[in-house]
Amino acid sequence: MKTTVSWLCPRCWIPTCVSASPCWGRSKAGSASKWAPATAPCHWLADQVGPSGHVTATDIDTTFLDRLSRPNLEVRQLDVTKDPIREGYDLVCARALLHHIPERLDVTKRLAAAVKPGGFILLEEPDFHSVLATDSPAVRNFWSGFIAWAANCGIDYYIGRRIAPALDQAGMTEIDVHGETIMFQGGSA
């Protein structure tokens, strides 16, 4: 089983990259989006697997998945912490999901178990290490407070560094980690 982990910095919420997998048979997007831009990867993946393939897009709240429309694309409401997850997928992909879920280690194992032998898992999660790398005390103070508030709510914004060990524990092999950091200027938004 092969795995890829991406770190995202706080400002680069990019659509899930599903192009890492050469196995296009029966695949599943572990979490599709509430946010319109993330529906595009679901449609793209459905087009890639073709009429004989199958894609499942899931979220605990499928409100924004209802706009998905492909004959080989199934939308399923699923709580990844406890609902049964089918097995035997060539690709399991989740973006910006695990850092929200206190049971993230168990969920990582559940997602890994859904991958068939030789298949892939692609997880994209943030690691906010870069936000404290600033010369501005005000910016550092803001992010320190934000991260502390998030941790108090059960959100792990340092999960990026923890996914590879979690996948190792889940029995995955050939783990590859890619991190990106984007610089941004205050007031430029």
Ligand X SMILES: C[S@@+](CC[C@H](N)C(=O)[O-])C[C@H]1O[C@@H](n2cnc3c(N)ncnc32)[C@H](O)[C@@H]1O
Angle among Cα 103, 73, 110 to the nearest 5 degrees reads 20
The tokens describing 3, both together, are: 């795995």
**Residue with Cβ nearer ligand X (63 or 185):** 63
| CB 104 to ligand X: min, Å | 10
| CB 27 to ligand X: min, Å | 16
**Residue with Cβ nearer ligand X (92 or 96):** 96
| CB 137 to ligand X: min, Å | 29
| Exposed / middle / buried, residue 146 (Cβ in 10 Å: 0-12, 13-18, 19+) | middle
**Residue with Cβ nearer ligand X (35 or 184):** 35
Query: Which residues have a Cβ under 8 Å from the Cβ of 83 and sit 6 or more positions away?
Result: none
| CB 107 to ligand X: min, Å | 8
Tell me which residues touch ligand X (CB under 6 A): 16, 31, 33-35, 38, 59-61, 78-81, 95-97, 100-101
Residue 73: which of 99, 50, 106, 95 has the closest Cα? 50
How close are the terminal C-alpha atoms of the chain, in Å?
Answer: 40
Element (H, E) at 177: strand 173-179
Cα–Cα distance for residue pair 110/167, rounded to 1 Å: 11
Cα–Cα distance for residue pair 80/103, rounded to 1 Å: 9
**Residue with Cβ nearer ligand X (5 or 38):** 38
Beta bridge partners of 86: none
**Residue with Cβ nearer ligand X (16 or 21):** 16
| CB 77 to ligand X: min, Å | 9
